[in-house]
Every structure is written in C-alpha cells, then in structure tokens.
Amino acid sequence: MKDSQPLLQVNDLQVSFKTDESQVRAVRGVSFDVHPGETVGLVGESGSGKSVTNLAMMGLVPKPPGRIDGGRVMYDGKDLLTLNERQMQSIRGRRIAMIFQDPMTALNPLMTVGQQLTEMTRLHLGLNKREANRKAAEMLELVGLSGAEKRLRDYPHQFSGGMRQRVMIAMALSCEPDLLIADEPTTALDVTIQAQILDLLRDLQQRRGTSIIMITHDLGVVAEVCQRVLVMYAGRVVEQADVQSLFAAPKHPYTLGLLNSLPRFDQSSHTLEAIPGQPPDLGNLPAGCSFRPRCPWAVDACANEDPRLVTMDQDRQVACLVAQETANV
C-alpha cells in the first residue's frame, strides 16, 4: 500500500486564530500522507488541532479569526490551499467528504433531513428528485436508521444525538468520495451500531478503495479500523506508527500516558491514571518541547529545543529528544 502514490499529502500545515489576548497557534507544522485505500487514525489531546487540521484541508477554517500561516495540501496534483471557493466546492462532498464532529452545527436546523440528504446527490451526481429520494432512503437504511422513508421529512432536532450523527455519515457517504474525513464519527453511537458503521466503512474501502482519515479518541476504534496512527499534541504530530507497534510499544511519553489513561473494559480498577498537569495554552507556548511541563522523562535539553519529528525505524516517527536519544544508544 505504501508503494503507491499518496492520494493526499499534507506538508508543514500551519493554522492560527486571532483572539483577544493572543494569536492561538492551533496547527504548528503538521505533515502526513494518506495512501489510496488506507485508514489513518488521528488521535491526541483534546484541543491539539485535529479538527482544525482537517477543516483547513477542506478550506473550512473561518477567516478571520482563522489564518493559514503556511504549508501545502496536495491532492490530485493541486494544492487545495490555493483553490478558490468555487473550485473547492467541486471537490468538497464529491471527492473529499467530511463527517463533522458536531452534527448540530453541520446540519441545517431549518431544512428537513431529507432535503439535506438529497441536496448533495442532486448537485454532485445529477440525480433527479425521485432518484435522490430513493438514494437517501437507501443510505439511511445502511446506517441503521430504519423506517427511513418515514423520517425523511423530520427536522434534525427531532432526532437523537446518535441519529443525527448517522444522518451526517449517510450524507458523507452518499457520493462515494475518494477520501473520507471522519471527525469523531461514532461518539454518540452505541457499540452495536458503532460496529455496524465501522463495517460499513470497511466495506466501502474494500469496494471502492476509499481512503479514510479517522479522528477519534476511542483507541478501541483505532485498533479495529486503522492501519497507521498519528498522535497529536499541541498542534504537532508527536508520533506516527503503524497501529500494532503503536499499541505494543509507544515511543512518545504523551502516547504512553494516553494508553495508560485507558479504562479497561475487562477490569474495574479504582483511580485512572490521567496525565498530570494542564493542557498547554496554544497562545502562549513554553520554549522547547510543549509537552515538557507534564513530561515524566524531561531533561534540561527539552527546555531549549523543540524536538522535530524524526524517523526512528522503518515506519516509526517520534518527536521526543529522550526517545530519540535512547534509540541511538
């Protein structure tokens, strides 16, 4: 899979927001590739820039207060960051689709679910009203919303949290995109429906070779569907590895802390091990490594040098001076 040309290449992406007190550097030089048919997991601290990275790729960061400070997003020979809104519209939804983290802001409260589901397929696939309605009902069926036709005339507020989330999934899948960006797609779903949705994504991938960027904090979901994982902290990728090695031997202290915080389904211990300390303020980052104030391994050098993402072995990259040091000896 890695021998193929990447479908998408993100290179040194930087995004910031202007707020009253500071310039918040939400994404600080993120680079990664997505290959055809691959599922890349994106995990990390809440507020570390996972959503903003992907919104920026789709041209959806509100400007102002947002600003793209640099980088390139190469797709199909073009840098998506240089396209105008009209060019972007022919890609968004059709070639690259996104399942948004917050269904309530992504769905239009004044339009019925049916109208929103058919809008995309009429626009991008040129379906007529009848065909689009049939397609919409079929998509809702696929995501486990039964009695689908009956509910096409309902408004989003009449749906439960998980039902809205599935409407968004149905919308994103209805044009069979090349790349699907799924931002916490299953947080509001019970595990049986979650399993059904993950099957649906796998099926789409096998049938169509769709690539998926799966943003999730659910490491169980990562273990089940991703081949490769990126771990983000404070606007940077701090570790990248294939899924087996990441779980078997995390190299970055943040990744390690994350895995240690997990409540395990098979046991009910008492206190969970949270990573100590506060998440960083992106408008006012410390010098050196941004994880240093919370890091159990920190040495003096960490205060001076902001570690780069360095390739360690075949498929593993880590941004930590101590981890890099240990690997060298």
Ligand X SMILES: Nc1ncnc2c1ncn2[C@@H]1O[C@H](COP(=O)(O)OP(=O)(O)OP(=O)(O)O)[C@@H](O)[C@H]1O
Q: Taking CB under 6 A as the criterion, which residues in 41-100 touch ligand X?
A: 46-52, 65
Positions in 248-307 near ligand X (CB under 6 A):
282
Q: Does 296 bind another protein (CB under 8 A)?
A: no
**Among another protein, Mg ion, ligand X, none, what does residue 314 contact (CB within 5–8 Å per kind)?**
none
23 binds another protein (CB under 8 A): no
Please enumerate in sequence order all residues whose Cβ is within 8 A of that of 250, keeping only pairs 6 or more positions apart, or say none. 239, 256, 258, 259
Among positions 161, 209, 277, 296, the unique one binding Mg ion when judged by CB under 5 A? 161
CA atoms within 13 A on the CB side of 179: 22
Interaction between residue 118 and Mg ion (CB under 5 A): no
Q: Is 276 helix (H, G, I), strand (E, B) or coil?
A: coil
Q: Give the nearest distance from C-beta 131 to ligand X in angstroms.
A: 26
Q: Name which of residues 25 to 64 contact another protein (CB under 8 A).
A: 43-48, 51-52
Rounded-to-integer distance, Cα 9 and Cα 12, Å? 10
Judge contact between 27 and 14, C-beta under 8 A: yes
What are 226's two structure tokens? 């991703």
The yes or no reply on residue 315 touching another protein (CB under 8 A) is: no
Residue 26 or 73: the one with the smaller Cβ distance to Mg ion is 26
CA–CA separation, 250 vs 239, rounded Å?
A: 9
Buried b (16+ CB within 10 A) or exposed e, 169-194: bbbbbbbbbbbbbbbbbbebbeeebb
* Nearest to another protein of 39, 124 (CB atom): 39
Closer CB to ligand X, residue 53 or residue 205? 53
Closest approach of Cβ 178 to another protein, in Å?
Answer: 25
Shortest reach from residue 46's CB to another protein, in Å: 3
* Peptide bond just before 64 cis, omega within 30 deg: yes
Q: From the list Mg ion, another protein, ligand X, none, pick the one residue 262 interacts with, judged by a Cβ distance below 5 to 8 Å according to partner type.
A: another protein
Binding residues for ligand X, total number by CB under 6 A: 22
Question: Tokens at residue 275, please?
Answer: 């990573």
**3-state class (DSSP) for residue 145:** coil
Count of residues of this chain found to bind another protein when the rule CB under 8 A is applied? 75
Which residue type, as a one-letter code, is found at position 233? Y
Residues in touch with ligand X (CB under 6 A): 17, 19, 24, 26, 46-52, 65, 101, 157-163, 188, 282
